[in-house]
Structure 1
Amino acid sequence: MSQLKLPTLDDIDVSGKKVLLRVDFNSPVGDNEELLDDSRIRAHVPTIKELLERGAAVVVVSHQGRPGESDFITLEPHAAKLSALLGQSVQFVEDVMGPEARRRIKNLKPGEVLLLDNVRFLAEENINAPPEVQEKTYLVRRLAKLFDYYVNDAFATAHRSQPSIVGFPMVLPSVMGRLMQKEVEALSKIFNPKVSPKVFVLGGGKVPDSLSIIENIVENKVADRILTTGLLSELFLVAKGIDLGESNMKFLEKKGILSLVPKARKLLLSGAPIDVPLDFVTVDEEGNVKVEPAYNVTGLIRDIGPATIRSYSELIKEAKVVVMRGPAGVMEDPRFRKGTKELVRAALESGAFTIFGGGHLTAVIEELGMKDRVGHISTGGGALLAFLSGKELPALKALEISARKFGLIKG
């Protein structure tokens, strides 16, 4: 992430102005095209409310699903949901950049909200290209002249380089919305050398992604400890020469994880501060659940064991920042939830600033009833991964270019 302090809503006067707001309303969709979860819409409400209260006319643009997928639908149900959450009527237009959309934008008055239809209905939006290419798209050329400001509040899309994300900042003064600002400020703590020790707790099934994260945080000397769980921990145990038993080795081979052993071994030999479990909760062919030491596993690994929970919890207790991504075990089965649950509890009781990678971990936080202790739950899946892996986020780069171009840089 750039060290530049990107401009926010505090840096612009939106009274009487037209604002184009990019959000991420992409939600799970049921059989009848009903929205099954409104949490992503809810997350953008503070930004929208603030813009309205400050006298702006707000035009909202978002995507939903991908072409060809069952959740690739119109944003009309999102408009109804947003109306309920805002407590005021949200206008909707079955158009994105055509004559009707432009007419409705021109007629929008301060204090009113208009939601454009699914921006991915446009072929242009489904192509990644540099900002200087995207500013020349029809979407940007037709709509930009109708607005005074562009606000990006969609951190979950920050790893993409599409017209609605990187094109508009090239031609309009652009700032972060409150959700984007919250994400950027929270994640900047990860790479702040003044805040330590930092403990990363990494698990889940996306082992190549987790390995990329470890390579980056090791290279940048960010982590004081990296506590591995799940399939990731099995990879590192194999890299140490531990035989995890026939059933686990076959599973790792089937998943293509054994091909990553040389990378894992290289990290271990570099002196990376990587910890592996002391024990596991396993299940045998008869369905018997037991605790086995990591060096003598006979059953199929399903969760970390009690000794590992104690050891990891002690390290977490001393942290100033805890970053958690992915569950420690197969937590869909209640018998194998304890590892994830206890590590989340340890993080929230530590007093450290906690950053969680959403998904399974959010469900555990709610189950524990400890949401008030959370530092930050990231809304960005791919964007969070890209950030932790050290990749530049196109959305933030575009905002940085815009800030320089239109003189909005602070300090």
Structure 2
Amino acid sequence: MSSSSSSRTAPHEIWRGIRQTVRTDTFGGILLLAATVAALLLANSPAAPWYVGIRETSFGPEVLHLDLTVAHWAADGLLAIFFFVVGLELKEEIVAGRLRSPRVAAVPVIGALGGVIVPALIFVAFTAAVPGDAVRGWAIPTATDIAFAIAVFAVVAKGLPPALRVFLLTLAVVDDLFAITIIATVYTDDLQPLWLAAAVVPLVLFALAVRRGIRHWWVLIPLAIVTWGFVHASGVHATIAGVVLAFMVPATVTPRARVQVGTDADGAPIHDALTAHFADRFGPISTLIALPIFAFFSAGVTVGGWDGLTAAFADPVTLGILVGLVLGKPIGILLAVFLLTRIPAVRRTFELRWGDMVGVGLLAGVGFTVALLVGELSYGVGSLEDDHAKIGILTGSIVAAILGGVVLALRARRVRQTGSTPPPEGAL
């Protein structure tokens, strides 16, 4: 065998490398950013009619009200996959992870609550006096985009305590749980209880199947699709179906519901829970397909040149979102954490520095995916308010990412220079 042939990388090794790259936080954020930039360029170029035409093209059966535009399919259908993965992560955290201990979970949970309340109050303060339904978008600046925030953190925060990433991830997941609850309760119009009751049947069958360890796609995916279709027909936003389905998946290893992932030193099998197995399988689909396509069809706002930007930033909707994300998020998170950690029992279980927390609080202002969805639900796709909301979301997210990235990069640089963690000038 020649040296050239022996040095070639086997196809399975190449595929394994690709899979590992796809699962990285940085790759997901870059792909999402690329889809957003592409949408903005197309929407503000001579190709705008083509882009809008595709986005507004309708297809699908009229049964269950599924004759939807491409943009709605992306928001209602593909985002359900994203929320399914988020739901799996959230259930794992509640059952077997960081959220299992109330004392440990209290800090990011209360921090997330503060990061919801303060931005919402700021938005209401900007829009309360505006005629019409401007205040309806109060929930837009309350969400944190997991993919973008974790991607920025992965790039700039090398060397900072691992617990900081844990805090940010938990904060973002709980933040999304609040957002899901808001979507289900506030942005649900014309509720159809019969369709919602019908969704229970395939949902229960799905739950029974996964609890018996059934992992065949031809069993689970049809049940999931039917559940999603019935939830969509009920008037509840269909992405909620993804979360509910995820919560049906067992997060503990049982004799039936388990997946062998390897063997230990003695050759005994090592098993993992189905939540981890499904997250591993559907995570790349969410990263490679669901989120980029949603961003591509949702972020394409026509700016309208300098006059359009001037009009947008004169709109209280845009300003409320921008200030809510950039200032409201960190203020709400840090204030809530500060008040909670005055309790001695809580303070002893969470040891992070305030300087690091400032960076994470700023980074939590990257509110992209869910914020865009809430904007569309608040004002309607293509409306002037929705376009201005998108400008506020994009601008606020960029500013928050830059500020948070700079703060964390400086903190990480300090750690590398000193060769240790920063001095405890304000450890939590």
TM-score, normalization by structure 1: 0.24
TM-score, normalization by structure 2: 0.24
Q: Which has the higher strand share?
A: 1
